[in-house]
Structure 1
């Protein structure tokens, strides 16, 4: 089956609230960038077949050089499937001169409701081989922690 990167977290919010945060431009800019990065969405079309472009900027480029430029990673994300409030499937195409970092990965966000809480599991397949698996899973976990904090502050 190949490489699968995965991370999960229980979020103290109902599945509908979590689902909305996966499809809200301002919310994504706030919580999606992992620790050590900030993000800016340049294009936004939240529908099946639509998507967005996010520019991720490293806060310390000396420690973590970018894949698109010295300090940035650029990714075009497509919404492959939207199944409210249980799942969002995205395709993420990375822009990089180094083929080890370029390519399209699929990220599936599964939301399992448990009353007023939601277990969110992110599964990534087709991850470009230059992306270290442990670092990628740590980045996904960081984004999930940001999502939990964002929804805690929003609630």
Structure 2
């Protein structure tokens, strides 16, 4: 029985073992269906990259803490960090000089492709199902 493969699959070399000939290589270095998004900022093109598991955790924790500490500067710094994780060639200092509407657009793009929107949506849906206000999720 062939193994289930994620990403781009390539058959392994021929062997005398029929089971081994049905085995697929799972290429976890390749990311399937990741959007090709490039942002022009500061005269340079910055390509969106897939978020790592560690960065996903950092982003999710940061977003969960937004608005709870009352420190606006810390919140904006955190949003800029989320953007730089998604677009690693961006300069975090330059992000402080862009119009707020553009910063919000970049956060939306970063969140839209790192899984945090999905996790937040699931948490809100669960809170509603449990009869809690979504903000308590």
TM tier, smaller: under 0.3
Q: Taking structure 1 as the reference length, what is the TM-score of the superposition?
A: 0.25
TM-score by length of 2: 0.27
Higher normalized contact order (CA 8 Å, seq sep 6+, divided by chain length): 1
Larger strand proportion of the pair: 1
- Structure number having the greater helix percentage: 2
